[in-house]
């Protein structure tokens, strides 16, 4: 049985649960339980505060955990980063009151900056040789300037709405972060095998999201050009149409160059292009 820790509420909660679901793992969690057991995969899920997850994984209370890379960097625990999950993208930034004149890092000298990320902030300020006072607090950082607790803050920014509603503006980006899967360094052989199974599934889900299945009709004299655009998993599938001189082509296309490929396909006389999402993809 592998034990995974995920955030109990907050930015990563929903996406973490969704990922497990897309991996075919079903949980019998009544709302707001501390623990849930999967009934079709050897996995036990612990719902914890994200800031505590690195410690729990380090101690082996949980074997693996889903956490923001920012938290991992702040807590500097000796645990492995096994997989970048690609969701929960955000940045750790310094923000100041909207009315403050801000030109450069120099303007932070002598100011008091409130944060829950004192390790990362300290390192950043030292590296930039900015002498400012770090005021470590454990939450609700965004209200610190408004109540006179600090002059500036250093906190996570995702949509930016928290800053906006608190009359703050982002002035420096310290690092960019996303959700990652971490693991204890001393997993038993048995647990490693379960982790490998889980990773195979996560990878299949993620690869599928990055690709689309595409079907189209094309005149045979253009097939070579079209194959060069759509190499597919091994090579494209080609089926002759009832109409002489035409074929149906099936392949996969990467999300990133999707529109560019579509435009070129049209130049190569492709017609009846159909694009379908892929649920799982094992390469």
Which positions lie near ligand PRP, rule CB under 6 A?
10-11, 50, 139, 155-162
Q: CA-CA-CA-CA torsion for 181, 185, 191, 194, nearest 10 degrees?
A: 30
Token look-up 């002498």 returns 131
Helix (H) or strand (E) run with residue 117 in it: none
Q: Which residue is nearest to Zn ion (CB)?
A: 50
Which CB atom, from 25 or from 52, has the smaller least distance to ligand PRP?
A: 52
CB of 174 to ligand PRP, least distance (A): 14
- Is there a contact between 214 and 176 (Cβ–Cβ < 8 Å)? no
CB of 159 to ligand PRP, least distance (A): 3
- Between CA 174 and CA 188 the distance in angstroms is 36
Interaction partner, residue 162 (ligand PRP, Zn ion, none; CB < 5-8 Å by kind): ligand PRP
- Between CA 54 and CA 73 the distance in angstroms is 10
Interaction partner, residue 122 (Zn ion, ligand PRP, none; CB < 5-8 Å by kind): none
Which CB atom, from 118 or from 222, has the smaller least distance to ligand PRP?
A: 118
Which CB atom, from 63 or from 69, has the smaller least distance to ligand PRP?
A: 69
Which CB atom, from 50 or from 69, has the smaller least distance to ligand PRP?
A: 50
Which CB atom, from 76 or from 220, has the smaller least distance to ligand PRP?
A: 76
- Between CA 168 and CA 170 the distance in angstroms is 7
Interaction partner, residue 159 (ligand PRP, Zn ion, none; CB < 5-8 Å by kind): ligand PRP
The CA radius of gyration of the chain, in Å to the nearest whole number, is 24
Interaction partner, residue 69 (Zn ion, ligand PRP, none; CB < 5-8 Å by kind): none
How many residues does this entry show for the chain? 283
Question: Quick one: three-class SS letters along 41-57?
Answer: CCEEEEEECHHHHHHHH
Which CB atom, from 179 or from 216, has the smaller least distance to Zn ion?
A: 179
Site for Zn ion in 42-71 (CB under 5 A): 50-51
CB of 70 to Zn ion, least distance (A): 9
CB of 165 to ligand PRP, least distance (A): 8
- Give me the phi and psi of 50, to 5 degrees please: -55, -35
DSSP 78-96: S-EEEEE---S-EEEEEEE
- Is there a contact between 74 and 102 (Cβ–Cβ < 8 Å)? no
Interaction partner, residue 11 (ligand PRP, Zn ion, none; CB < 5-8 Å by kind): ligand PRP
CB of 54 to Zn ion, least distance (A): 11
Q: Which spans of this chain sit near Zn ion (rule: CB under 5 A)?
A: 50-51
């Amino acid at each position: 049985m592998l034990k995974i820790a995920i955030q109990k509420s907050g930015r990563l909660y929903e996406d973490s649960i969704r990922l497990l679901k897309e991996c075919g793992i079903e949980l019998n969690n009544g709302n707001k339980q501390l623990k849930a057991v999967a009934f079709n995969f050897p996995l036990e899920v612990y719902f914890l505060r994200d800031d505590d997850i690195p410690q729990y994984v380090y101690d082996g209370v949980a074997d693996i955990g889903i956490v923001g890379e920012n938290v991992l960097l702040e807590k500097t625990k000796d645990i492995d980063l096994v997989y970048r999950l690609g969701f929960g993208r955000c940045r750790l930034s310094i923000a100041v009151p909207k009315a403050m004149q801000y030109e450069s890092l120099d303007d932070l000298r002598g100011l008091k900056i409130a944060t829950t990320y004192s390790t990362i902030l300290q390192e950043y300020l030292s590296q930039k040789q900015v002498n400012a006072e770090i005021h470590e607090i454990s939450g609700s950082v965004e209200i610190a300037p408004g109540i006179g607790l600090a002059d500036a803050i250093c906190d996570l920014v995702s949509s930016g709405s928290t800053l906006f509603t608190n009359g703050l503006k982002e002035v420096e980006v310290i690092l960019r972060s996303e959700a990652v899967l971490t693991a204890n360094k001393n997993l038993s052989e048995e647990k490693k095998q379960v982790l490998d199974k889980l990773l195979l599934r996560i990878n299949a889900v993620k690869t599928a999201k990055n690709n689309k299945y595409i079907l189209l009709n094309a005149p045979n004299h253009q097939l070579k050009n079209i194959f060069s655009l759509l190499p597919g998993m091994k090579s494209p599938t080609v089926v002759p149409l009832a109409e002489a001189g035409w074929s149906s082509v099936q392949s996969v296309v990467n999300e990133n160059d999707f529109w560019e490929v579509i435009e070129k396909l049209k130049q190569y006389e492709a017609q009846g292009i159909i694009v379908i999402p892929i649920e799982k993809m094992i390469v």
